């Protein structure tokens, strides 16, 4: 009976952010329980190897590109997943990011990136997938949070705020969708070593500090989450919704020593780590030009770097590269930097070039921001802000020139279309004078047409009154003049027809 409750055979699960770390672990756990998978990443090519691993378990798998900060990308993903499988049963809302800085150093860009990914993205992914679940009156939504859903940590202000929001969002959606047979819960891991935080675990003093605060006396291992994610995805949790399940070794108890530790007491024995279920072996990483035997620890550092370059986060890759460079010869440093650039930075540089050529400087800026951590090492990355600024200036100048030309020709339809483009391209301060100019001219034109309409009506020139009236309705449909014309348009047409006939 219990086996059937946890069986996911025939179910379809979406796991976002599945190119690395816990996202892959969640997908593996669901696949082993019987679910078919939709896996997503900003770079869909990074999913190729993992897709094969899942298919090796006998599962149907769809890999889809998804940027959770892009609303249309979310809609496209959900539609593609539903079209491919015909239904969506489970969503693991996992895609996320982090910025580690003291609160006084957090920039608006840092804040927006974390919030747009972790909270805004989580909501709109849930919304896009949830519509299919609500229609079928069945679904399991699992929002991935963190122990920071319930605890605050220095240096993680944006991240803590976003994860606290995910906890509240979970409760709201649970209340909203519960009547439609959809449960919504939050799975909140504690301290797990992932690519996102791997640099912390290189600090032995910090590892000792954090371990001392965990009652089970060890950081989590990825497979520690398998049971929890399968439970929340299965019928075993059918009567649970709106809850946050903390899988954190007990750190959220606020583990603090209320009495001093006895000096000389033996160190606690870490709780045993259960052996993980067998995982398909990934193929060997790409070959690198290096003699791994030249320095102690070099071989391990190379292995960690090779693992990092299969991921998507340029900042994380650079962290591993900097650690590795201390063990490399100058020639090897050059080779590794070139490899890093081509792997993690060149695609974005190329995309920025393409977007600059088409005048999409705001989209170009987003791609440049993703690799800004490489500006110190790579001239091509360092040059991106200046390139985007030049593109923006040229695009702005062209836009303003076209607007003024349309304005001078009194082609207000064209001018207004350009004004809408300005709203997307210029800052509010830059666009304001042109918007005011357009409003003044439009008001004058509306009043002029209104006066001409009234004069034509007084002169009983029904043909002219009809022409001016139809222009008012077309260009100023919400004006009082347009509403007056609409009330008599049929009568005006009859009179104009008679008047025209009388002239022949």
Positions annotated as catalytic residues are 159
Give me 21's structure tokens. Answer: 């770390």
Q: Are 88 and 12 in contact (CB under 8 A)?
A: yes
DSSP 95: -
CA 163 to CA 135: how far, in whole Å? 28
The 90-93 sheet, strands edge to edge: 61-65, 36-41, 12-15, 90-93, 139-144, 182-189, 244-247
Residue labelled with tokens 């976002």? 16
CB pairs under 8 A, 24+ apart, for 414-422?
A: 416/442
Axis crossing angle, helix 157-177 with helix 121-136, rounded to the nearest 10: 20
CA 159 to chain centre: 14
Q: Which string of DSSP letters, residue by residue, matches 270-334?
A: PPPPPPPPP-PPPPPPPP-S--TTSSTTHHHHHHHHHHHTTSS-HHHHHHHHHHHHTTS-HHHHH
Give me 458's structure tokens. Answer: 């007084």
Q: Determine the 3-state secondary structure of 265 from DSSP.
A: coil
Strand partners, 489: none
CA 480 to CA 484: how far, in whole Å? 6
Residue labelled with tokens 């985007």? 388
Q: Which string of DSSP letters, residue by residue, matches 137-202?
A: T-EEEEEE--GGGT---TT-HHHHHHHHHHHHHHHHHHHHHGGGTEEEEEEEE-SB--TTTGGGGG
Backbone angles phi, psi at 199, to 5 degrees: -60, -30
- Provide the phi-psi class of 221: left if phi over 0, else alpha when psi is between -120 and 50, else beta: beta
Q: Which string of DSSP letters, residue by residue, matches 112-137?
A: HHHHIIIIIHHHHHHHHHHHHHHHHT
CA 194 to CA 98: how far, in whole Å? 12
Q: Are 2 and 24 in contact (CB under 8 A)?
A: no
CA 323 to CA 347: how far, in whole Å? 24
- Helices and strands, counts by H and E, the chain: 21, 7
Residues ≥6 apart with Cβ < 8 Å to 139: 88, 89, 90, 91, 129, 130, 132, 133, 177, 181, 182, 183
């Amino acid at each position: 009976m219990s086996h059937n409750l946890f069986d996911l055979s025939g179910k379809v699960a979406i796991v976002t952010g599945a190119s690395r770390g816990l996202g892959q672990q969640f997908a593996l756990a669901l696949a082993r329980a019987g679910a078919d998978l939709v896996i997503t990443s900003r770079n869909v090519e990074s999913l190729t190897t993992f897709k094969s691993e899942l298919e090796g378990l006998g599962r149907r798998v769809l890999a889809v590109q998804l940027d959770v900060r892009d609303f249309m990308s979310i809609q496209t993903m959900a539609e593609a997943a539903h079209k491919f499988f015909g239904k969506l049963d489970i969503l693991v809302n996992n895609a996320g990011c982090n910025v580690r800085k003291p609160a006084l150093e957090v920039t608006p860009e840092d804040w927006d990136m974390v919030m747009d990914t972790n909270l805004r993205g989580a909501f709109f992914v849930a919304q896009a997938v949830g519509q299919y679940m609500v229609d079928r009156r069945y679904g399991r939504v699992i929002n991935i949070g963190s122990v920071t859903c319930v605890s605050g940590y220095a240096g993680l202000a944006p991240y803590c705020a976003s994860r606290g929001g995910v906890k509240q969002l979970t409760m709201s959606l649970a209340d909203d969708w519960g009547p439609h047979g959809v449960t919504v819960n939050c799975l909140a891991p504690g301290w797990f070593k992932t690519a996102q935080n791997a640099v912390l675990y290189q600090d032995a003093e910090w590892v000792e500090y954090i371990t001392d605060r965990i009652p089970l006396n060890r950081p989590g291992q990825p497979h520690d989450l398998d049971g929890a994610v399968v439970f929340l995805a299965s019928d075993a949790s059918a009567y649970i919704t709106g809850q946050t399940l903390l899988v954190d070794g007990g750190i959220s108890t606020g583990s603090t020593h209320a009495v001093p530790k006895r000096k000389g007491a033996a160190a606690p024995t870490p709780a045993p780590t259960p052996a993980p279920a067998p995982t398909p072996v990934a193929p060997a990483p790409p070959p690198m030009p290096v003699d791994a035997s030249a320095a102690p620890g070099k071989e391990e550092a190379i292995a960690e770097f090779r693992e990092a370059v299969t991921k998507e986060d340029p900042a994380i890759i650079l962290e591993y590269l900097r650690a590795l460079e201390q063990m490399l010869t100058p020639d090897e440093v050059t080779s590794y930097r070139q490899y890093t650039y081509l792997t993690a930075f060149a695609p974005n540089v190329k995309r920025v070039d393409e977007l600059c050529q088409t005048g999409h400087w705001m989209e170009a800026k987003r791609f440049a921001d993703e690799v800004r951590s490489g500006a110190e090492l790579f001239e091509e990355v360092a040059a991106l802000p200046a390139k985007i600024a030049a593109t923006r200036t040229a695009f702005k100048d062209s836009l303003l020139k076209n607007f003024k030309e349309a304005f001078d020709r009194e082609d207000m339809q064209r001018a207004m279309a350009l004004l809408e483009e300005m709203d997307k391209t210029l800052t509010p301060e830059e666009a304001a004078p042109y918007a005011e100019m357009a409003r003044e001219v439009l008001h004058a034109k509306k009043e002029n047409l209104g006066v001409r309409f009234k004069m034509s009506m007084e002169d009983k020139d029904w043909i002219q009154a009809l022409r001016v009236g139809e222009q008012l309705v077309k260009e100023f449909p919400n004006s009082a003049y347009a509403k007056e014309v609409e009330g008599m348009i049929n009568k005006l047409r009859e009179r104009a027809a008679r008047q025209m006939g009388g002239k022949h």
